[in-house]
Amino acid sequence: MYTKNDLEQAIEHCENKVKELKCGKCREEHKKLLEMLLDLKIFKEQL
């Protein structure tokens, strides 16, 4: 099981990677993952 802090750290990591990587498939994959993590955060906050 993951904690709220784990989720926040994952979001922060993805945000940093998206800023760090200027282009390419890896950046696009991190952008998608970031969007999914943010959706998950919103979902968990509504429970």
pLDDT digits (tens, 9 = 90+) for 15-42: 999 999 999 999 999 999 999 999 999 9
Domain ranges in the chain are 4-46
Q: What is the pLDDT of residue 43?
A: 98
Q: Model confidence at 45, in pLDDT bands (50, 70, 90)? A: very high
- Nearest of 37, 41, 47 to residue 13 by alpha carbon: 37
Whole-model pTM over 0.85:
yes
Here the contacts of 39-46 (C-beta below 8 Å, separation 24 or greater) are 40/7, 41/7, 41/8, 41/11, 44/4, 44/7
